[in-house]
C-alpha cells in the first residue's frame, strides 16, 4: 500500500489534470493507473484530493476508496470511505479510514477487516503502524472459519479475541495480550499472553502441544515436545515423556535435507523399571531404541542409503506406546539404474520382536546383491533376461550359507492371425553354495558335511492362450483359456542347499502359471507338469465388471520341494481361483479360494466385500487357512474383520470395527474399536477408542483412547494412551 500511495503522490505533484490518467514512475518502479471521478489540487493548502470511485492499480495491487488525500506540508496520505486494498498475495484489507505519515512508515487504520489468502479473517477496532515494522491492533479478533451462510452474524466455530495484538515484522511474531479462545461464541480458554509466528515464517523453534494419557501398564503419561528450527534444512524435536509408575524417557528426531539426499534420525532413551518375566524387580536400567534413515544420490545412476532400527527390549516399543512392529530391520544398500539394468547391494540385520524369535538364530546378510537385466526384443520378438544373486548369510546358531546364483532365460512370444498367443520360454537355473551347519533331515540332530554344493537346472515352458471377445450392447465379454507345459529334470533341489528365501510357498492363482513358482533362488520347480485354466470377464461401458479365474495343475512326478499343505502334494494339484464382482460404485466383491482336489474341501478361503454408498460403507474380510505342516506356528485359522463407516453429517463421520478369531475353541475377539471425526475448513476433531484382547508376554489386554483437536493455523492438542 505504501508503494501505491507513493505512486499517487508523485502523480498528483505532477498535477495530472484528467479524471482518468495513465502514467509511469521512473526506472525501478512499476507502471501505475489511477481512476477517479475528480482530481483536485489545492495549491494554497498544499493538498491534492482524488474523489469519487477512486481506483489505484499497480501490478497486482488494487486500492479502492471514496476519497484519497495527500498533504504535502504534513507529508500525510489518507484514504476514506469504503477503503479496500487487494494485495498481490491475494489478501484483501478493508477499512473505514487509513492515514499514513512519516514517509509512509507510520500509520493509523480505523475499523480494520482483513481477508487473508487462506480465507482466514482478521478484524480490529483500530490499528497503528509504528516505525515501519510494527503493527498494534486493539480489540482484535482472528478466525480461519467460514461464516454461517444463512446468518453471517453468528460467531464462527472458533475464534481468538484479544484486547491487544502486536505484529512485530522484524522477528515475525504475532503476540496476543489478554486473549480468549472461543468456540461457538463460548469462551473455553484464556491466555494472558499467546505468541505464534506470522504466516511468512516457515519454521519456528518453540514448545509444541503436550501429550497426555494413561496406560494400565505404565500409569499416567505426560509428554512435552520442543521443536528447534536449526536452519532452513535442519530441525530437531526433543520430547521428554514421564510415566507415573515406570520412570521416563526422552525421544528425539533430527531431520536434515541435503543437496542430494536426506537424513531422518529418531530414537529414545530412558531410565526405567527393570522387569523379569513381566514382574518389576525394584531396580532400574537404561532402555531405548533407534530408528534412523539416510538416503543419498551418488550419481545419475547410483544412490545409496542406510536404515538402523534396534530396541533394547522386545516389548519396549509396544509398552511405551512407540510402535508395534514384529521385526526391526537394519539395512545398508547401494542401487543403480541404467537402461534395462538394475543392481542393488544390501547388508541386512534383523531383530525379531515376537515371543517365538531367538536372537542367536536371526541371520546377518552381508552382502546380499541382486542384478536384473531385460534385453531388447530381437528380430522375431524374442528377448533375453538375467536375474543373478550373491549372498553371504551367517548365524550364531544355525545354518550358514554363501551363494552365487543366476537365472538366465530367453522368451519368444507369437500371436497368430486368428488371435492365439503362443509363448516359448527357456530358462537355466544355476547356483553354487558354500554351506555350514545345514541340518540333515535324515539324521535327527545331525548336520550335513560343510562344503560346496551346486546345481544347474534347465527348464522349458510353452504357453498357449486364446482370448475371445464379444460385445453385447454395452457389455464386453472376454473368455480366455490358458494351457502351459513346463519341463525340467527332477532332483534340482539338493537337501544340502538351505532354504532361506523360498519358504512358506502356497499355490494360488498368482503363481499357478509361473515357470518357477518359488519366489527366491534357493528352490526351483522341477519335473514335468502342465497347467490349465481359464479367465472369464464381463466389462460394462460404465465401469461395471465381473471376472473369474480358475485353474489346476497336473505333475507327472511329485516334486519334493513342495511340502504338505502347500496345495501341490499329489499328481493333481488343488483347484485355485479368484472371483471379483463390481456391478456399481457401491459394491466391490473379491473371493480367493483353494479347494482340495479330492473332496473339494476349502483349504484357503478369502472373501472381501465393500458395499454401500459413500455415506454408509461396510467393509468386511474373512480368511480361512488350513494348518501348515511346514510352518507349525500357522495352525487352523479363521478370522473375520468388519468395519462400518458412516458419513453422519456434512462434517461428521463415524466408524466401528471388529476383528474376531473364529478358529479358537471358543470364538473370541482379537480387537475392536470405534472412531468419530469432525472436520471442516478450520477445525478437526477425532476420537478413537480401541480394545486389544490379545496378550504378548507381560503385556495384558488393554483399552486405548485417542483424542485429537486441530485448530487451523494455531496448532493441535492430543490426548492419547488412555488405558484401563
Q: What is the CATH number of the domain that holds 171?
A: 2.60.450.10
Residue 555 belongs to some domain of the structure: yes
What does the alpha-carbon distance between residue 660 and residue 637 come to, in Å, rounded to a whole number?
Answer: 11
Q: What is the mean pLDDT of residues 204-211?
A: 77
Percent helix, strand, coil in the chain, to 5, is 5, 60, 35
What does the alpha-carbon distance between residue 557 and residue 518 come to, in Å, rounded to a whole number?
Answer: 17
User: Going by DSSP bridges, is the β-strand pair 186-197/173-183 parallel, antiparallel, or unpaired?
Assistant: antiparallel
Q: What's the grid cell of residue 707? A: 483424542
Would you state the pLDDT for residue 662? 83
Structure confidence by residue, pLDDT tens digits, 538-551: 999 988 999 999 99
Least confident residue range of 200-214, 232-246, 279-293, 438-452:
200-214
Would you state the pLDDT for residue 603? 87
**pLDDT over 80 at 95, yes or no:** yes
**pLDDT over 50 at 360, yes or no:** yes
Would you state the pLDDT for residue 525? 92
Q: What is the mean pLDDT of residues 492-511?
A: 90
Q: What is the mean pLDDT of residues 518-527?
A: 92
Residue 274 belongs to some domain of the structure: no
What does the alpha-carbon distance between residue 518 and residue 506 come to, in Å, rounded to a whole number?
Answer: 9
Residue 345 belongs to some domain of the structure: no
What does the alpha-carbon distance between residue 260 and residue 605 come to, in Å, rounded to a whole number?
Answer: 47
Q: What is the mean pLDDT of residues 199-219?
A: 74
Q: What is the mean pLDDT of residues 229-251?
A: 90
CA dihedral (176, 180, 181, 186) in degrees, to 10, reads -160
Would you state the pLDDT for residue 635? 57
Would you state the pLDDT for residue 85? 80
Three-state secondary structure call for residue 3: helix
**pLDDT over 90 at 647, yes or no:** yes
Out of 170, 197, 224, a domain closes at: 197
Which DSSP category does 360 fall into? G
What does the alpha-carbon distance between residue 342 and residue 175 come to, in Å, rounded to a whole number?
Answer: 55
User: Going by DSSP bridges, is the β-strand pair 211-215/715-720 parallel, antiparallel, or unpaired?
Assistant: parallel
Q: What is the mean pLDDT of residues 330-343?
A: 95
What does the alpha-carbon distance between residue 661 and residue 670 come to, in Å, rounded to a whole number?
Answer: 6
Question: What residues pair up with 136 in beta bridges, in sequence order?
Answer: 128, 166
Residue 65 belongs to some domain of the structure: yes
Q: Which residues of 518-550 are buried (b: 16+ CB within 10 A; e: fewer)?
A: bebbbbbbbbbbebbbbbbbbbeeeebebbbbb
Q: What is the mean pLDDT of residues 408-429?
A: 96
**pLDDT over 50 at 15, yes or no:** no
Structure confidence by residue, pLDDT tens digits, 649-687: 989 999 999 999 887 555 688 889 999 999 888 888 888
Out of 197, 227, 257, a domain closes at: 197
What percent of the chain shows pLDDT beyond 70?
Answer: 90
Three-state secondary structure call for residue 197: strand
What does the alpha-carbon distance between residue 655 and residue 285 come to, in Å, rounded to a whole number?
Answer: 41
Out of 600, 632, 649, a domain closes at: 600
Three-state secondary structure call for residue 168: strand
What percent of the chain shows pLDDT beyond 90?
Answer: 46
CB 249 within 8 A of CB 242: no
Which DSSP category does 361 fall into? G
Would you state the pLDDT for residue 721? 41
pLDDT class for 30, splitting at 50, 70, 90? Answer: low
Domain that holds residue 578: 382-600
Grid cell 483349504 in the structure block, residue = 603
Domains in the chain, number: 2
Query: Average pLDDT, whole number, for the chain?
Result: 85
Phi, psi of 254 (to 5 degrees): -110, 130
**pLDDT over 70 at 25, yes or no:** no
DSSP-derived secondary structure for 395-419: -SSS-EEEEEEEEEEEEEEEE-TTS
**pLDDT over 60 at 722, yes or no:** no
pLDDT class for 199, splitting at 50, 70, 90? Answer: low
What does the alpha-carbon distance between residue 645 and residue 613 come to, in Å, rounded to a whole number?
Answer: 10
Residue 170 belongs to some domain of the structure: yes
Residue 606 belongs to some domain of the structure: no
Nearest one of 378, 301, 299, 304 to 342, comparing CA atoms: 301
**pLDDT over 60 at 55, yes or no:** yes
What does the alpha-carbon distance between residue 344 and residue 301 come to, in Å, rounded to a whole number?
Answer: 12
CB 697 within 8 A of CB 314: yes
Residue 570 belongs to some domain of the structure: yes
**Alpha carbon distances (Å) from 105 to 1, 4, 296:** 11, 13, 48
Would you state the pLDDT for residue 84? 86
Q: What is the mean pLDDT of residues 611-617?
A: 92
Which has more confidence, 16 or 648?
648
Would you state the pLDDT for residue 99? 85
Which has more confidence, 502 or 8?
502
What does the alpha-carbon distance between residue 322 and residue 308 come to, in Å, rounded to a whole number?
Answer: 16
Which DSSP category does 319 fall into? H
Residue 557 belongs to some domain of the structure: yes
Would you state the pLDDT for residue 71? 83
Would you state the pLDDT for residue 246? 80
Structure confidence by residue, pLDDT tens digits, 250-271: 999 999 999 999 999 999 999 8
**pLDDT over 60 at 23, yes or no:** no
Q: What is the mean pLDDT of residues 15-23?
A: 34
Q: What's the grid cell of residue 155? A: 460467531
**Strand (E) or helix (H) holding 318:** helix 316-319
Structure confidence by residue, pLDDT tens digits, 557-600: 888 888 878 888 889 999 999 999 999 889 999 999 999 988 88
Amino acid at each position: 500500500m505504501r508503494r501505491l500511495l507513493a505512486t499517487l503522490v508523485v502523480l498528483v505533484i505532477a498535477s495530472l489534470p484528467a479524471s482518468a490518467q495513465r502514467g509511469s514512475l521512473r526506472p525501478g518502479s512499476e507502471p501505475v493507473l489511477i481512476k477517479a471521478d475528480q482530481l483536485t489540487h489545492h495549491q494554497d493548502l498544499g493538498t491534492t484530493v482524488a474523489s469519487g470511485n477512486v481506483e489505484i492499480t499497480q501490478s497486482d495491487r488494487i486500492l479502492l476508496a471514496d476519497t484519497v488525500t495527500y498533504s504535502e506540508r504534513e507529508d500525510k496520505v489518507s484514504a476514506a470511505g469504503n477503503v479496500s486494498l487487494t494485495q498481490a498475495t491475494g489478501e484483501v484489507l478493508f477499512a473505514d479510514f487509513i492515514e499514513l505519515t512519516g514517509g509512509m512508515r507510520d500509520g493509523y487504520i480505523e475499523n480494520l477487516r482483513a481477508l487473508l489468502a487462506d480465507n482466514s479473517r482478521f478484524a480490529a477496532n483500530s490499528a497503528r503502524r509504528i516505525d515501519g515494522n510494527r503493527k498494534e491492533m486493539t480489540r482484535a479478533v482472528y478466525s480461519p472459519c467460514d461464516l454461517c451462510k444463512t446468518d453471517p452474524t453468528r460467531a464462527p466455530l472458533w475464534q481468538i479475541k484479544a484486547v491487544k495484538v502486536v505484529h512485530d515484522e522484524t522477528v515475525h511474531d504475532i503476540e496476543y495480550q489478554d486473549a480468549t479462545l472461543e468456540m461457538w461464541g463460548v469462551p473455553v480458554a484464556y491466555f494472558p499472553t499467546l505468541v505464534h509466528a506470522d504466516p511468512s515464517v516457515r519454521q519456528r523453534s518453540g514448545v509444541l502441544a503436550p501429550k497426555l494419557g494413561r496406560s494400565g501398564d505404565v500409569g499416567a503419561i505426560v509428554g512435552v515436545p520442543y521443536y528447534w528450527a536449526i536452519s532452513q534444512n535442519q530441525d530437531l524435536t526433543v520430547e521428554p515423556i514421564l510415566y507415573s509408575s515406570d520412570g521416563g524417557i526422552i525421544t528425539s528426531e533430527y531431520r536434515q535435507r541435503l543437496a542430494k539426499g536426506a537424513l531422518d534420525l529418531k530414537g529414545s532413551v530412558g531410565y526405567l523399571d527393570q522387569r523379569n518375566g513381566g514382574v518389576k524387580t525394584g531396580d532400574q536400567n537404561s532402555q531405548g531404541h533407534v530408528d534412523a534413515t539416510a538416503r543419498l544420490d551418488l550419481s545419475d545412476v547410483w544412490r545409496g542409503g542406510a536404515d538402523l532400527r534396534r530396541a533394547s527390549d522386545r516389548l519396549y516399543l509396544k509398552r511405551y506406546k512407540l510402535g508395534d512392529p514384529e521385526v526391526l530391520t537394519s539395512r545398508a544398500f547401494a542401487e543403480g539404474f541404467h537402461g534395462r539394468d538394475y543392481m542393488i547391494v544390501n547388508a541386512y540385520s534383523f531383530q525379531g520382536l515376537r515371543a517365538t524369535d531367538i536372537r542367536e538364530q536371526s541371520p546377518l546378510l552381508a552382502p546380499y546383491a541382486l542384478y536384473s537385466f531385460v534385453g531388447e526384443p530381437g528380430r522375431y520378438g524374442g528377448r533375453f533376461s538375467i536375474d543373478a544373486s550373491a549372498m553371504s548369510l551367517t548365524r550364531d546358531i544355525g545354518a550358514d550359507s554363501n551363494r552365487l546364483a543366476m537365472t538366465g532365460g530367453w522368451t519368444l512370444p507369437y500371436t497368430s492371425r486368428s488371435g492365439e498367443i503362443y509363448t516359448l520360454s527357456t530358462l537355466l537355473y544355476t547356483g553354487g553354495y558354500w554351506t555350514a551347519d545345514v541340518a540333515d533331515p535324515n539324521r535327527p540332530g545331525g548336520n550335513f558335511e560343510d562344503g560346496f554344493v551346486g546345481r544347474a537346472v534347465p527348464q522349458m515352458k510353452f504357453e498357449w492362450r486364446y482370448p475371445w471377445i464379444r460385445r453385447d450392447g454395452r457389455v464386453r465379454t472376454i473368455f480366455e483359456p490358458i494351457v502351459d507345459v513346463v519341463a525340467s529334470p527332477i532332483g534340482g533341489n539338493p537337501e544340502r542347499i538351505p532354504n532361506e528365501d523360498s519358504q512358506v510357498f502356497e499355490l494360488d492363482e498368482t503363481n499357478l502359471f509361473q515357470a518357477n513358482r518359488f519366489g527366491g533362488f534357493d528352490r526351483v520347480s522341477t519335473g514335468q507338469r502342465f497347467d490349465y485354466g481359464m479367465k472369464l470377464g464381463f466389462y460394462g461401458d460404465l465401469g461395471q465388471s465381473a471376472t473369474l479365474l480358475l485353474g489346476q495343475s497336473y505333475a507327472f512326478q511329485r516334486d519334493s520341494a513342495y511340502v504338505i499343505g502347500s496345495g501341490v502334494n499329489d499328481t493333481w494339484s488343488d483347484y485355485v481361483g479368484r472371483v471379483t464382482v463390481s456391478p456399481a460404485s457401491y459394491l466391490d466383491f473379491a473371493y480367493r479360494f483353494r479347494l482340495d482336489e479330492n473332496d473339494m474341501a476349502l483349504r484357503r478361503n478369502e472373501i472381501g466385500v465393500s458395499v454401500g454408498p459413500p455415506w454408509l460403507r461396510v467393509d468386511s474380510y474373512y480368511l480361512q487357512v488350513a494348518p501348515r505342516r511346514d510352518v507349525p506356528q500357522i495352525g487352523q485359522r479363521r478370522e473375520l474383520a468388519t468395519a462400518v463407516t458412516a458419513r453422519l453429517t456434512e462434517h461428521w463421520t463415524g466408524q466401528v470395527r471388529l476383528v474376531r478369531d473364529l478358529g479358537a475353541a471358543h470364538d473370541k475377539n482379537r480387537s475392536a474399536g470405534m472412531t468419530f471425526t469432525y472436520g471442516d475448513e478450520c477445525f478437526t476433531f477425532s476420537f478413537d477408542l480401541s480394545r486389544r484382547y490379545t496378550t504378548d508376554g507381560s503385556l495384558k489386554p488393554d483399552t486405548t483412547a485417542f483424542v485429537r483437536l486441530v485448530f487451523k493455523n494455531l496448532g493441535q492438542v492430543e490426548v492419547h494412551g488412555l488405558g484401563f
